[in-house]
């Protein structure tokens, strides 16, 4: 990690003695203790700069954010022209050690990244980003490849998001989200207490089902499972999790499943007040697992908000093996065409065991729809089968909001708009916390030329799911493109959550509309590498636009970007 002080010469000209004294004080009070805390080694000090070595990319990035935060805090109360502001570069790679100093291309890249960083920024090479992107709760901007002097290949560069987003709550933390007016809760992934990895999917499925049951309770604000699972396997203080997710209460627990029995330990924590509100152990036979889920969610609701109106019951599967198969399929569905095919095999087997299992019909319907809509699968008979499976899911369990929105999005793409709107209305009446429904409804709102409404839908989804899957940002960027806010669309599509997916074609169109044709055509070429059969004509015919002018607006962007007719 290389860091230096922005405007060092100017600071020296203003007050040489005072600047040197301040830097010396901050080195002793901030730099050296933080290096020790993050298990680093100061390689050398260079007047206005420092080079530090770490054994871990995670330690290096954690140190850099903490260092920036502490230095910014130390500027408080000083005249703005006396602020000491850093720029930081971090790279990962082999080095040559001579006499305690470090040499080599890896060091050069770190120093060059620091040199091109803007004041207050932390720039990471792609090698560092790949190591930390799933391990640290920071946001990153992808800045693209940069040419580094004396380095043969361009270096992918990422920036940790602006410090104002991260420094309000302490080192490395996001600014806290405001608490909702109603009781708010996040259910953290329960811990699997036995070493058998086969049980991991069951434990995750149990957590997801508890989130679903709580989410359907009117009068509660419940964080979506995707954001809750962002903390799986991480040792993070529950108070920090609560701040980052914008909730007051955290539920955590453990599960042990063995010899036909299941033991669940759960505890409910007030992360603001620091109190344990409720704790319970459930030890039952596996045949009682769904009754236990109902009991756990009922006791949590009572502890949080007293007696609320219970939602209408969902239909439970009648076969535990079918449940296990469906839980495994959940983690595979809706990610890639290959994963969806594997999920479909599991779902077909689940439906052989339990033909009336509504969730299995729903997941199968979504995978079939995604197959013909996005993944190049044959339209017939896949399209009709997707509609039939979604309608079957709703018929079997009309009280499951997820069944309703799945049918709603599929009907929307069938241009059965009134029926689609009715299903979404029903879904969000059953479960106003259902983030996926809000985000998916944005797709149809955009294609119906209701872009402001679409953006509002995605923002609601992001509040319920602050660590969302990448397709949320696809929906946001699509609405921004439709609203002709191309700069915002480019920023959205370049987020690491969605960049390098098929949303790249919309990134290409947005760049083309801004007149950045070289970048647009580069992104279009990269898109075509992953989607070689894409044509504008086929895509346009498959999209349920309600406004032909909007259809032409999308087609024009694709043509400008050089996508094939």
Render pLDDT for 415-444 as a digit per residue (tens, 0 to 9): 999 999 999 999 999 999 999 999 999 999
Render pLDDT for 263-320 as a digit per residue (tens, 0 to 9): 888 898 988 777 788 888 888 888 888 888 888 887 887 777 665 566 777 888 889 8
3-class DSSP assignment, residue 134: coil
Strands 249-258 and 40-45, sheet pairing: unpaired
Question: What is this structure's pTM?
Answer: 0.66
Domain with CATH 1.25.40.10 in the chain: 312-432, 435-565
More confident residue, 233 or 402: 402
Least confident among 163-172, 371-380, 506-515: 163-172
pLDDT for 353: 96
As a whole number of angstroms, the distance between CA 393 and CA 203 comes to 24
Q: Which of 494, 481, 423, 470 is nearest to 447 (CA)?
A: 481
**Averaged pLDDT, 352-379:** 89
Domain with CATH 3.30.70.1230 in the chain: 2-165
Which residue bears the tokens 């100061």?
42
Neighbours of 497 (CB within 10 A): 19
As a whole number of angstroms, the distance between CA 294 and CA 313 comes to 9
| Most confident by average pLDDT, 73-77, 140-144, 554-558 | 554-558
**Mean pLDDT over each residue of the chain, to the nearest integer:** 86
**Averaged pLDDT, 394-401:** 95
Q: 435-565 belongs to which CATH class?
A: mainly alpha
In Å, what is the CA distance from 153 to each residue of 110, 147, 260?
15, 7, 57
Burial of 81: CB neighbours in 10 Å, binned 0-12, 13-18, 19+: exposed
As a whole number of angstroms, the distance between CA 480 and CA 509 comes to 12
Render pLDDT for 507-545 as a digit per residue (tens, 0 to 9): 999 999 999 999 999 999 999 988 888 899 989 988 899
Q: How many Cα atoms occupy the beta-carbon half-sphere of 502 within 13 Å? A: 14
DSSP track, 34-59 = HHHHTTEEEEEE-SSEEEEEES-HHH
Domain with CATH 3.40.50.10610 in the chain: 184-305
**What is the enclosing helix (H) or strand (E) of 77?**
none
Burial of 444: CB neighbours in 10 Å, binned 0-12, 13-18, 19+: buried
Render pLDDT for 225-258 as a digit per residue (tens, 0 to 9): 999 998 888 777 888 899 889 999 999 989 988 8
Quickly name the fold that domain 312-432 has. 1.25.40
Q: 184-305 belongs to which CATH class?
A: alpha beta
pLDDT for 22: 87
Q: 2-165 belongs to which CATH class?
A: alpha beta
Q: How does DSSP classify residue 299?
A: H
Neighbours of 31 (CB within 10 A): 21
């Amino acid at each position: 990690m290389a860091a230096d002080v922005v405007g060092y010469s100017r600071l020296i000209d203003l007050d040489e003695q005072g600047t040197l004294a301040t830097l010396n004080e901050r080195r002793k009070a901030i730099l050296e203790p933080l290096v020790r805390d993050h298990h680093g080694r100061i390689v050398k000090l260079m007047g206005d700069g420092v080079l530090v070595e770490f054994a871990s990319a995670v330690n290096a990035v954690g140190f850099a954010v903490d260092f920036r935060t502490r230095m910014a805090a130390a500027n408080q109360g000083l005249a703005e022209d006396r602020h000491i502001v850093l720029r930081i570069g971090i790279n990962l790679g082999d080095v040559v050690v001579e006499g305690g100093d470090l040499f080599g291309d890896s060091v050069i890249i770190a120093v060059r990244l620091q040199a091109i960083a803007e004041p207050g920024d932390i720039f990471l090479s792609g090698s560092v980003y790949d190591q930390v992107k799933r391990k640290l709760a920071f946001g990153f901007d992808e800045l693209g490849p940069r040419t580094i002097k004396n380095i043969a290949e361009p270096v992918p560069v990422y920036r940790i998001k602006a410090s104002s987003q991260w420094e309000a709550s302490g080192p490395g933390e996001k600014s806290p989200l405001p608490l909702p007016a109603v009781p708010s809760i996040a259910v953290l992934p329960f811990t699997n207490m036995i070493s058998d990895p086969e049980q991991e999917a069951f434990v995750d499925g149990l957590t997801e089902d508890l989130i679903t049951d709580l989410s359907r309770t009117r009068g509660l604000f419940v964080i979506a499972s995707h954001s809750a699972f962002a903390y799986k396997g991480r040792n993070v203080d529950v108070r920090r999790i609560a701040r980052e997710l914008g909730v007051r209460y955290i539920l955590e627990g453990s599960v042990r499943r063995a010899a036909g029995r299941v033991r669940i330990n759960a505890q409910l924590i007030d992360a603001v007040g620091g109190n344990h509100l409720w704790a319970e152990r459930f030890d039952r036979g596996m045949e009682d697992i769904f009754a236990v889920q109902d009991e756990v969610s009922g006791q949590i609701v009572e502890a949080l908000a007293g007696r609320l109106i219970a939602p209408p019951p969902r239909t439970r599967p009648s076969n535990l093996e079918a449940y296990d198969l469906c839980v495994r399929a959940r983690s595979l569905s809706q990610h890639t065409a290959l994963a969806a095919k594997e999920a479909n095999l599991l779902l077909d087997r689940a439906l052989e065991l339990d033909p009336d299992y509504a969730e299995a019909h729903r997941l199968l319907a979504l995978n079939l729809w995604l197959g013909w809509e996005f993944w190049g699968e044959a339209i017939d008979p896949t399209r009709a089968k997707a509609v039939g499976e979604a309608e079957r899911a709703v018929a079997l369990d009309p009280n499951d909001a997820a069944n309703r929105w799945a049918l709603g999005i599929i009907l929307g793409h069938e241009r059965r708009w009134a029926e689609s709107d009715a299903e979404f209305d029903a879904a969000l009446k059953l479960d106003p916390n259902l983030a996926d429904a809000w985000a998916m409804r944005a797709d149809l709102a955009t294609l119906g030329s209701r872009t402001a409404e679409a953006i509002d839908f995605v923002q609601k989804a992001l509040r319920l799911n602050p660590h969302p899957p990448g397709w949320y940002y696809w929906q946001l960027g699509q609405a921004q493109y439709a609203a002709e806010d191309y700069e915002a669309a480019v920023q959205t599509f370049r987020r690491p959550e969605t960049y390098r997916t098929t949303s790249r074609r919309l990134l290409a169109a947005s760049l083309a509309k801004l007149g950045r044709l070289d970048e647009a055509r580069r992104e279009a070429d990269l898109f075509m590498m992953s989607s070689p059969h894409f044509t504008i004509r086929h895509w346009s015919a498959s999209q349920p636009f309600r406004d032909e002018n909007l259809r032409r607006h999308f087609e024009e962007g694709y043509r400008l970007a050089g996508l094939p007719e």
